[in-house]
Amino acid sequence: MKRTMIYLSEEAHEGLRKLAFEANTSIAELVRRAVEAVYGEDIEDIRDGEEELKKYLANPASAVSLAEVRRRKKVNV
C-alpha cells in the first residue's frame, strides 16, 4: 500500500469524519473504498492492457489482425 496526501473541503472532511465514526472505520478506508468503487474496473482494465502489451512485445508474431478478429467473431463492418 502506498501513502498519499489529498486535500478535501472542510465539508467533505467533516462528512467523511462522521461517516467513518458511524462505520467504525477510518477516513482513509472510506476513501480507499470509494476509489475502488469508482475506478476499480478502469484500474483493472489498465493492468490487463499492460499485461497484453508485454505479451505482444515479447512475441509480436502472436498478434492477430483486426480483420482476423472480425472474421472469427463473424462481424462485418
Backbone phi, then psi, for 3, in 5-degree steps? Answer: -90, 140
Residues 6+ apart with CB under 8 A from 11: none
Q: What's residue 62's pLDDT?
A: 86
- pLDDT tens for 41-72 read 999 999 999 999 999 999 998 888 888 888 88
What predicted TM-score, i.e. pTM, was given to this entire model?
0.70
- pLDDT tens for 9-29 read 999 999 999 999 999 999 999
